[in-house]
Amino acid sequence: MQSILITGGCGFIGSNFVRAALSTLASTRLVVLDSLTYAGNPMNLVGLESDERLRFVKGDILDASLLEALFSEEEFDTVVNFAAESHVDRSILEPGGFVRTNVLGTQSLIDAARRHWTPVGETCREGVRFLQVSTDEVFGSLGETGLFHEATPYDPHSPYSASKAAADHLVRAAFHTHGLPTLITNCSNNYGPYQFPEKLIPLVIRNAREGHAIPVYGDGKNVRDWLYVTDHCSAILEVLARGAIGGTYCVGGNCERRNLDVVETICDLIDEISESASAPRRDLITFVTDRPGHDRRYAIDSGKIARELGWRPTVDFDEGIRRTVHWYLANDPWIEAIIDGSYREFYDRFYGNR
List, by residue number, the catalytic residues.
Answer: 136-137, 160
Q: Which class for 28: exposed (0-12), middle (13-18), buried (19 or more C-beta within 10 A)?
A: middle
Cβ-contact 165, 154 below 8 angstroms? yes
How far apart (Å, rounded) are the C-alpha atoms in residues 132 and 122?
Answer: 24
DSSP SS3 for 55: strand
Q: Which amino acid is at 279?
A: A
Cβ-contact 245, 280 below 8 angstroms? no
How far apart (Å, rounded) are the C-alpha atoms in residues 150 and 300?
Answer: 9
How far apart (Å, rounded) are the C-alpha atoms in residues 350 and 337?
Answer: 21
Mark 238-255 as b/e (b = at least 16 C-beta within 10 Å). Answer: bbbeebeebbbbbbbbbb
How far apart (Å, rounded) are the C-alpha atoms in residues 34 and 32?
Answer: 6
DSSP for 237-273, please give it.
Answer: HHHHHHPPTT-EEEE--S-EEEHHHHHHHHHHHHHHH
Q: Which of 158, 40, 162 is nearest to 99 (CA)?
A: 162
Cβ-contact 55, 32 below 8 angstroms? yes
CA distances from 260 to 267, 285, 287, 351 (A): 11, 9, 10, 17
Q: What are the residues facing 148 on neighbouring strands?
A: 300
CA 289 centroid distance within chain: 26
Q: Which class for 123: exposed (0-12), middle (13-18), buried (19 or more C-beta within 10 A)?
A: exposed
